[in-house]
Amino acid sequence: MREDMMDRLLPESIGPSVQVEKAALRETQLVLGRRTASAATALVLAALCFACLPEEAAVFIPPIRRGGVWLSAVLCTFSLVSVWRFYRACSRLNALGLYRRPRGIRASWSWELAGAFISLAVVSTICAALGWELPSIGGGALLGLWSALWLGRRLNHIPDYETARLEELATRSILQEKGE
């Protein structure tokens, strides 16, 4: 069931017109696309807030730090399991035809930010477990950033940069024509 469907979902005598069905499907797809970008951005920004706070302001930070590398490894494992579940959900939405790739660059940024943050956490945990010092933050984040880009494009959930730029320019010109 794609957005450009031609046939009705319900018999002629029952239900709304084809235009109403298409509008409902487009709205559902739009909401599902917002879910992806919003979830990734919210989780990453919330986690970064706790990194910025002094220990006195975040009462639960010192006990978490006492958990050490083992607690970090458990948290990274759960994070990677969540990524796997997210991937499976995206694949299922694609199979059902209930997903339309969001337009523009913001979805790509969300995927990149989430991938970089998760990768940095995993690489930092591995370095701490082995007694190594993390050589650079960028090195730890790049693997996840590239992996997220590859996965998002493989699932057709994010556009390449040139397509995103053209889509944003087209959206801007449509909004300017409407007077918004």
Chain position carrying tokens 């943050």: 117
What global pTM score does this model have? 0.64
List Cβ neighbours of 171 (8 Å cut-off, separation of 6 or more).
103, 104
Rounded Cα gap, residues 180 and 176, in angstroms: 6
Rounded Cα gap, residues 177 and 162, in angstroms: 23
Provide the residue-wise pLDDT of the chain in tens; the chain has 180 residues: 455 555 656 666 676 677 777 777 777 777 776 677 677 777 777 776 666 766 666 666 777 777 778 888 888 888 888 888 888 888 887 777 766 666 677 778 888 888 888 888 888 888 888 888 877 778 888 888 898 889 888 888 788 888 878 877 776 665 555 555
The tokens for 92 are 């299922």
For 7, half-sphere exposure in the C-beta direction (CA atoms, 13 angstrom radius) is 4
